[in-house]
Amino acid sequence: MKNMTKQELIRRLEDIEWEDFEVKEASRSLPKSVWETVSAFANTAGGWLILGVGQRGSSYAVQGVDNSEKFEQDFLTALRGSKFNRTVSVVSRKYRLDGKTVLGFYVPAASAKDKPVYFNSVQNTFIRTGSGDQRARQHEVDAFYRNSSFDQKDGEVTKFGVKS
């Protein structure tokens, strides 16, 4: 779901975090774990990252973000800058809940040729499992690289019967 209405967000906040939905408290600054979630969503099936909402047990509390425009620009600039090995393009949404501003970003799944998606170094490659972001194991990173070259190898022209 690349577009989420306010009503859909409210419905999701009445449920639990899962493979395609993550909330993070972020009133004054971006939490460091935000980059893990971006990597995880990009390397799996994509998902919504919601900033300005905290989790309290099994429920959510809307705290909002301060200076939402700066917050959004800082986040988007990092996704286009040198923080990630690839540019991560997201869909951005701003919501007003309980009189507070909440930011939503849909992180799409990267194509097979663009994986792995990581920040700072390949050791920071994450995948999404259930409601959590997990550091990818070496064999998973290797599989991303193998799969990313498959399209290139698959498209190569071969000459049968001709010795090289």
Residues 76-110 have pLDDT tens digits of 999 998 899 999 999 999 999 999 999 999 999 99
**Residue in 128, 154, 136 with CA at minimum distance from that of residue 20:** 128
Question: Which one-letter amino acid corresponds to residue 61?
Answer: A
So what's the pLDDT on residue 148? 84
Sign of CA dihedral 113, 119, 122, 123: negative
**Residue in 149, 145, 151 with CA at minimum distance from that of residue 125:** 145
So what's the pLDDT on residue 163? 46
- β-pairing, 126-129 vs 132-135, is antiparallel
Are 55 and 48 within 8 A, CB to CB? no
So what's the pLDDT on residue 154? 45
So what's the pLDDT on residue 164? 45
Question: Which one-letter amino acid corresponds to residue 23?
Answer: V
Burial of 122 (0-12, 13-18, 19+ CB in 10 A): middle
Q: How many CA atoms lie within 13 A of 142 on its CB side?
A: 3
Q: How do the pLDDT tens digits run along the chain, 164 residues long?
A: 678 888 889 888 887 777 899 999 988 888 999 999 999 999 999 999 999 998 877 788 899 999 999 989 999 999 998 899 999 999 999 999 999 999 999 999 999 999 999 999 999 999 999 889 999 999 999 999 998 876 544 444 555 544 44
So what's the pLDDT on residue 158? 52
Give the C-alpha separation, 108 to 88, whole Å.
Answer: 8
So what's the pLDDT on residue 10? 85
